[in-house]
């Protein structure tokens, strides 16, 4: 059996910074504000080399079972490597554009386009959407199962929308190339949250709880008071929005959680939890519109 792996070779020149984005955006599970900082980059070159290797299959029922499990692990490992390559290429393109090396930026843009056309997960997702549009639901289910085997997180969108007791929570995440270092296994994802009070009673957000899961299914629970240092009061038919971010050690993952709130128009009101539906953190992103 043949398997294909991708290796990325990047030539770095000296980095001479210093571009800093205005304002602040909060990074990390603790939601403390940190300013985004991007470095300008000199010319970089990037080339992708594909290596094919041949492995012998096992014999017998036990070997077949072991082979299937091994193949599944190889698929996931291969997706991880491709995701890392994709993240590196996107970062290189951004830095080339910032340093006004437009020829290199255009070359990397074309490489990314080719990569996206050949990436199995992106191709399978396109086939799944086409099958659903043509009402070929058995085919769509088969494509979905193949995606789930390779990259279960990718079935989630980079956005979610949930309503609890009239409180609507919308989330949208995006990958931040400028704060990520794929070669070191560091990936940053910013997310924007809009909380809308569609009830007829004012509420106050007291606490937050996040469950952050990386591509290796390692989860972390994070609790905190309020959000970005505030415990906002949200009146009926009003919204509160904020931005924060989450670092991951893998190119994809997911987040979900809840906000603890209470009604403030009546003394002694009990607190209640408002769900934040799961959403993906992905270097590939998706086609979902921003909030």
Query: Which of 66-80, 193-207, 209-223, 265-279 is predicted with the least confidence, judged by mean pLDDT?
Result: 66-80
Q: Please, are residues 169 and 277 in contact by the beta-carbon 8 Å criterion? A: yes
Q: Are residues 150 and 222 in the same domain?
A: no
Q: Are residues 126 and 25 in the same domain?
A: yes
- Look at residue 288 and tell me if it is in a domain: no
Domain extent at residue 227? 156-282
Separation between Cα atoms, residue 8 and residue 178, nearest integer Å? 19
Query: 129-148: per-residue pLDDT in tens?
Result: 899 999 999 999 998 898 88
Q: Which two tokens stand for residue 120?
A: 């199995």
In the block, residue with structure tokens 């799961």: 278
In the block, residue with structure tokens 């904020």: 242
Q: What's the pLDDT band for 118 if we cut at 50, 70, 90?
A: confident
Q: Which of these three, 110, 127, 154, is where a domain ends? A: 154
Q: Are residues 109 and 14 in the same domain?
A: yes
Overall average pLDDT of the 175-203 stretch: 94
Q: Which of these three, 103, 122, 154, is where a domain ends? A: 154
- Look at residue 82 and tell me if it is in a domain: yes
Q: Are residues 183 and 250 in the same domain?
A: yes
Domain total for the chain?
2
- Look at residue 291 and tell me if it is in a domain: no
- Look at residue 290 and tell me if it is in a domain: no
Q: Are residues 35 and 88 in the same domain?
A: yes
**Residue 73 confidence (pLDDT):** 60
Backbone angles phi, psi at 113, to 5 degrees: -60, -45
Separation between Cα atoms, residue 95 and residue 42, nearest integer Å? 8
**Residue 1 confidence (pLDDT):** 42
Query: Which of 15-19, 41-45, 98-102, 221-225 is predicted with the least confidence, judged by mean pLDDT?
Result: 15-19
């Amino acid at each position: 059996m043949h398997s294909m792996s991708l290796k990325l070779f990047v030539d770095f020149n000296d980095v001479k910074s210093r571009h800093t984005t205005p304002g602040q955006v909060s990074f990390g599970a603790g939601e403390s504000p940190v300013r985004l900082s991007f470095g300008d980059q000199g010319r970089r070159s990037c080339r992708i080399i594909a290596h094919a290797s041949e492995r012998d299959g096992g014999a017998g029922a036990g070997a077949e079972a072991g082979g299937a499990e091994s193949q599944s692990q190889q698929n996931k490992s291969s997706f991880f490597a491709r995701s890392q390559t994709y993240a590196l290429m996107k970062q290189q393109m951004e830095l080339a554009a910032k340093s006004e090396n437009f020829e290199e930026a255009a070359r990397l843009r074309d490489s990314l386009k080719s990569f996206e056309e050949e990436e199995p997960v992106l191709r399978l997702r396109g086939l799944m959407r086409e099958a659903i549009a043509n009402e070929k639901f058995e085919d769509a289910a088969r494509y979905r199962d193949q995606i789930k085997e390779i990259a279960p997180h990718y079935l989630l969108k980079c956005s979610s929308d949930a309503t609890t007791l009239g409180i609507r929570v919308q989330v949208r995440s995006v990958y931040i190339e400028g704060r990520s270092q794929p070669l070191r296994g560091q990936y940053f994802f910013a997310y924007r949250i809009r909380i809308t009070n569609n009830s007829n009673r004012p509420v106050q957000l007291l606490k937050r709880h996040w469950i952050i899961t990386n591509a290796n299914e390692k989860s972390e629970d994070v609790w905190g008071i309020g959000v970005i240092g505030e415990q906002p009061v949200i009146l009926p038919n009003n919204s509160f929005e904020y931005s924060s971010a989450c670092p991951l050690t893998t190119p994809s993952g997911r987040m979900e959680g809840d906000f603890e709130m209470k009604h403030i128009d009546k003394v002694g009101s009990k607190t209640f939890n408002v769900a934040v539906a799961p959403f993906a953190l992905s270097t590939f992103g998706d086609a979902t519109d921003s909030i």
